Every structure is written in C-alpha cells, then in structure tokens.
Amino acid sequence: MKKMVLIAAALLIASPGTFAAKMTMPTDTPASYEAECASCHMAYPPALLSQQSWKNIMSGLSKHFGTDASLDPKTQTELTNWLVKNATTRQKYSETAPENRITKTSWFIRKHDEVNADVWKRAGIKSPANCGACHIDAANGVFSEKNIKIPVK
C-alpha cells in the first residue's frame, strides 16, 4: 500500500502538470523578441500558439492588428524560426488560431468562460490580449490559478 502511494506521488511529480500553469519563455529567447514583439504588448510565450499560427502571424506583420509591425528580413527569419521551433506541442492547444489571436482559440474561450464580458473592458484590463493585467506572472509564462488577480476596475 505504502509503495502504491509512493508510486502515485512520483507519477504526479513526473507528469508535466496542467498545460496551463506554466509555459515559460524558452532559454534561447532572442533579444530581438523582447525588442520587436514586446513594445506594444507583452512578449507572448511561444507555447501559447501552434506552428501554423505563428507562421500566419509572422507573414502578416505589415498589417498586424491595425499596426505595422514589420521587421528587417534577418530578424523576420530569426524570430519566425524561433517561434515555430518553440510553438506548442500539445494537441489540445494546436488549433490554428482564428484571426491569429490566442484570445480567439477555443481553449482560451473555455478557460475564461467565467470572466464576464464587462470585466474585459475594465480600465485596468482593456483587452483579453492584456494577459498580465490578471495573470500577475504572465511575463514569466505562469498562468496558474493561484497567480491571478483580476483588477476591480
């Protein structure tokens, strides 16, 4: 019996846990990612999207959500390769993001179904894409339940 419990505990530790809790930035994040992709919003951890989604985003940077986020060809290649390499490997999160948005994926909508429509519009949040407004450690890729604090206004 005791042995069974120990095995169960070992399995728990060994399993990667719920996807969500942690999707840390890869250790080989190029400096250009912070410089080019984190000036208008946070540097989204690559594991939030599939390979195809990152390809779609990176091939449309001149028309990026109403802005021009184009890059020089060298940086464009560097970042595309790095994002694709570090894209999610989990089936559950592998859908091609509608409108190139993490926030339009079915997993995102499901995970946030308890957040009311008016909450997203609070001044302290402004947009579902503003992950760090509620996920206080989002910049480190931590999205677990105990690291959430929703601004009251």
Residues that bind ligand HEC (CB under 6 A): 18, 20-21, 36-37, 39-41, 44, 48, 57, 61, 64-65, 67, 69, 79, 101-103, 111-112, 114-115, 119-120, 125, 127-131, 133-135, 143-145, 148, 150
CB of 7 to ligand HEC, least distance (A): 25
CB of 47 to ligand HEC, least distance (A): 10
d(CA 23, CA 30): 17
CB of 11 to ligand HEC, least distance (A): 19
Cα R_g (the chain), whole angstroms: 17
Distances (CA, A) of 50 to 89, 125, 129: 8, 25, 17
Give the distance from CA 145 to its chain's centroid.
Answer: 15
